[in-house]
Amino acid sequence: KPTYRHDYRPPAYRVRHTELRFDLEPGATRVRARLHVERHPERQAGEPLVLDGEQLLLTSIAIDGQALAEAEYALSDTGLTVLRPPERFLLDTEVEISPRENTALEGLYLSNGMYCTQCEAEGFRRITYYPDRPDVMATFSTTVVGDKATLPVLLSNGNPVERGELPDGRHFVTWDDPFPKPSYLFALVAGDLQKVEDRFTTMSGRDVTLQIWVEKANLGKTDHAMASLKRAMQWDEQTYGREYDLDLFMIVAVDDFNMGAMENKGLNIFNTAAVLTHPHTATDATFQRVEGIVAHEYFHNWSGNRVTCRDWFQLSLKEGFTVFRDQCFSADVNSAPVKRIEDVAFFRTAQFAEDAGPTAHPVRPDHYIEIGNFYTLTIYEKGAEVVRMLCNLVGWEAFRRGSDLYFERFDGQAVTIEDFVDCMAEASGLDLSQFMLWYSQAGTPEIDAHGEYDYANAEYRLTLRQRTPATPDQPEKLALHIPIRMGLVGTKSGRDLALTLDGKPLDRDGVIHLREAEQTFVFTDVPEAPVPSLLRGFSAPVQLRFPYGREDLAFLLANDSDGFNRWDAGQRLAMLALDDLIAAHRNGVEKVMDPRVVEAFRALLERGSKDKAVMAEMLTLPSEAYIAEQQPLVDVEAIHAARTFVEQSLAAALSDDFLRLYEENRSDIPYAPTPEQIGQRSLKNVALSYLMAIEDEQAVALAHQQFEADHNMTDVRHALTLLVHSSRDDLADPALRAFGEKWAHEPLVMDQWFAIQVTRPQTDALERVRYLMGHPAFSLKNPNRVRALVGTFANQNRINFHRTDGEGYRLLTDVVIELNRLNPEIAARLVTPLTRWQRFDEPRQELMKGELERIRAEKLSPNVYEVIEKALAQ
């Protein structure tokens, strides 16, 4: 069953050119394929030609015009083998498929009457027989035939070269894609769509037409995506020297989509949730997410499409690099420190959890059963952290030279992670061999640090010990090369001290290199006792522990020159207080708020900050999920109680400051998703959250007012959430009803409406989920609805999902079992919270394992099978 990386062999045959013709019918679409095939020069003659194919009905097959006899090929559930093909030939096949029956949303399917495709990773094999692997690259010519009245728009990759009318009210368009590509980048869209058009002139003067295709009702929601696309195109030219290469770039928005979006050559397909925005329907967070995803998919045109992956083990080659590129883009066009804080806060919660659980895997895995399960936080986000470390290690200039070399040397090829890192080594002259371990070792490295100031000798000794915990099939780990950006902040001066290490000034960036299991760094000429500021900007994806006292943390919160570490000091300080309160809760002792935390927050509020978005982040307590990640055993109730207690204590002690903050940051200027406005709204809304934590009349009135004022979705959604999460149903119910009625026709807003209700801390949350699953706006067939209702509940409503009666687990299991049949990829993702059973107390472990067993008893898709087996093997 599993595929192993070390089994890689080049394909026996290559496809030089692919001609496709689709006759679209919901229940019986005919696909004709003509492949121009030739033997791979490195492989001997006479080997069979192996084509992938699933759920296809073969109606004809011929080589060079001659129909094949039954003895000349073999058919199976997973493909077709031509036993003795010639050296060079044309292979013609015709198959029938049923887009209407396709609920997995892989291959060709129907979404709201519109045909669309998702081929990455292995969806093309559900369209036609083909060597469906990324190292087979061909130019494509695609003819799409469909009913003219219902499918007026027919799209595929590249440029339209011919169109015309056919009998019976049908018409066709032929598309040519001149760039050789693997099958996973193929795309087709057909439907009753409308477009918004714009232009972009590239740096070399190519005039590119930009189109965003949507259903008519969504025509007013494309401005931000279009503006983001143009910014991204310009940024990639300026930053990486990368220019767009076709005359046409299209984006299509579809309702039913498993992921965020897909970078098909010249024809990006997007989940509506990842592209549509309007001030009245989308929040600031959505505006920023759309900007990032539009850029991400566009950047793939080079990092992914022009240079692609040799095999799927190299997935992070394109994804890690492209996420790094989109993160840098978003940092450049928004508030850079906030972008970093948000990314790291998410990473340390979700990726750390993945790395510590049964599905932990390296950035480049060694084996998989179902590649669809490997579109993970580790491949994407940890992969991006690894590229970021590379960039910091070699420096931007060498990184850019390495990137130029990579794109030049491998243009039009399918390559490996070594190929990429080798370019960086060549461009910088650095030895990156130890660094490569980041790609092969799973698990989050832990660094235990401690330091000593030697007053007499004016020395500071910093000792770092690294250790990576065992992960499934990797019991032993080697020491990694870990770049640690740091400073020593003088306790008298409050400033960064000049750092001298081994008699030399430390480089400007203040990076020390940890390469051994344990290393001591001795800084000399340290004139005053310092507090170390370690891992600035989160310079490596590690868990770093240092025995900071609360005074140290309050000091860093006030004085650190690194904005990221200022924020992190606040988080660490809050964590210390939370730890005490969690223990108090567990021991049944009365909870007492640490006054030092209150004073640190008071000081923060009084000092203020130029960057309001950073300030908002600093005032935000660690999430329950993050707190849980920091505990040896997760105590769901204690975490919830402790965090609520801190929030209420801060609110009570600092209510005047929060009120002032709220008033100062109110504004009724017209909505724009600018970094300034977003920062201001975040800060105002954080203040409102604190005020509502104690639910006094004044706070309730403000929340109500903000909801009623209906100024933009960010403010309305925030106010509605506070009302719905309050203890008063007389506030929650009317607001929910009004909102639900107003937005019944907008699926993406209804997703918010679902999510807000099912994150309620009240005990009725689970019953609401069950009830809402019967709501007319809900459908198990739509991944956005499933994520909004069930995914949000299981991942974000911890106290209710982890109910001690096991009802939360049962509900999730019921849904996973149904989705296993309908949409295995979504099912395998949704089950994640249950796979983390080892983190909980004994009774919960038993309940969770019981549900996993219940899933295992089903006839499982490979996706769900792989995850369940790993989870139960622990």
Positions annotated as catalytic residues are 297
Site string for ligand ARG, 342-381 (x = CB under 6 A): ------------------------------x--x------
Residue from 232, 251, 261, 654 in contact with ligand ARG (CB under 6 A): 261
Q: For the sheet with 530-534, list strands across it.
A: 511-514, 482-490, 530-534
Residue entry with tokens 């995506």: 225
CB of 125 to ligand ARG, least distance (A): 13
Residue from 121, 338, 650, 777 in contact with ligand ARG (CB under 6 A): 121
Chain centre to alpha carbon of residue 182: 23
Residue from 54, 319, 326, 343 in contact with ligand ARG (CB under 6 A): 319
Residue nearest to ligand ARG (CB): 375
Whichever of 106 and 624 has its CB closer to Zn ion, that residue is 106
Residue 262: contacted member of ligand ARG, Zn ion, none (CB under 5 to 8 Å, by partner type): ligand ARG
Would you report the helix, strand and coil content of the chain in percent, each value rounded to 5? 45, 20, 30
Whichever of 307 and 702 has its CB closer to ligand ARG, that residue is 307
Site string for ligand ARG, 291-310 (x = CB under 6 A): -----xx-------------
How buried is residue 171: exposed, middle or buried, by Cβ count under 10 Å (0-12/13-18/19+)? Answer: middle
Residue 120: contacted member of ligand ARG, Zn ion, none (CB under 5 to 8 Å, by partner type): ligand ARG
Name, in order, each residue with C-beta under 8 angstroms of 654's C-beta and a sequence gap of 6 or more.
598, 601, 602, 605, 690
CB of 275 to ligand ARG, least distance (A): 12
Q: What is the dihedral of CA 613, 619, 624, 626, to 10 degrees?
A: 70
Gap between the Cα atoms of 832 and 794, Å rounded: 9
Inter-residue contact 271 to 331 (CB < 8 Å) = no
Nearest CA among 462, 493, 648 for reference residue 559: 493
Q: Which residues pair with 863 in a beta bridge?
A: none
CB of 303 to ligand ARG, least distance (A): 11
Gap between the Cα atoms of 232 and 303, Å rounded: 14
Residue entry with tokens 């009210």: 169
Nearest CA among 291, 272, 281, 289 for reference residue 717: 281
Using the contact rule CB under 6 A, the part of the chain among 141-149, 255-263, 624-632, 676-684 near ligand ARG is: 255-263
CB of 304 to ligand ARG, least distance (A): 7
Nearest CA among 359, 346, 262 for reference residue 305: 262
Residue from 262, 540, 628, 864 in contact with ligand ARG (CB under 6 A): 262
Whichever of 52 and 297 has its CB closer to Zn ion, that residue is 297
Residue from 259, 276, 432, 812 in contact with ligand ARG (CB under 6 A): 259
CB of 718 to ligand ARG, least distance (A): 29
Whichever of 689 and 835 has its CB closer to ligand ARG, that residue is 835
Residue 8: contacted member of Zn ion, ligand ARG, none (CB under 5 to 8 Å, by partner type): none
CB of 189 to Zn ion, least distance (A): 19
- How many chain residues bind Zn ion (CB under 5 A)? 2
> On the CB side of 41, how many CA atoms lie within 13 Å of its CA?
0
- DSSP 3-state assignment of 192? coil
Residue from 54, 120, 326, 385 in contact with ligand ARG (CB under 6 A): 120
Inter-residue contact 192 to 152 (CB < 8 Å) = yes
Whichever of 231 and 839 has its CB closer to ligand ARG, that residue is 231
Residue 372: contacted member of ligand ARG, Zn ion, none (CB under 5 to 8 Å, by partner type): ligand ARG
Q: From the CA atom positions of the chain, what is the Rg in Å?
A: 28
Whichever of 157 and 559 has its CB closer to ligand ARG, that residue is 157
Instruction: Indicate the helix (H) or strand (E) that contains 459.
Output: strand 459-467
Whichever of 319 and 635 has its CB closer to Zn ion, that residue is 319
CB of 233 to ligand ARG, least distance (A): 17
Residue from 263, 326, 385, 746 in contact with ligand ARG (CB under 6 A): 263
CB of 325 to ligand ARG, least distance (A): 12
Q: Name the phi and psi angles at 400, rounded to 5.
A: -65, -40
Q: Which residues pair with 487 in a beta bridge?
A: 533
387 is a contact residue toward ligand ARG (CB under 6 A): no
Nearest CA among 83, 22, 120, 31 for reference residue 825: 120
Name, in order, each residue with C-beta under 8 angstroms of 814's C-beta and a sequence gap of 6 or more.
none
Gap between the Cα atoms of 765 and 768, Å rounded: 5
Which parts of this chain interact with Zn ion (CB under 5 A)? 319, 322
Which parts of this chain interact with ligand ARG (CB under 6 A)? 120-121, 259, 261-263, 296-297, 319, 372, 375
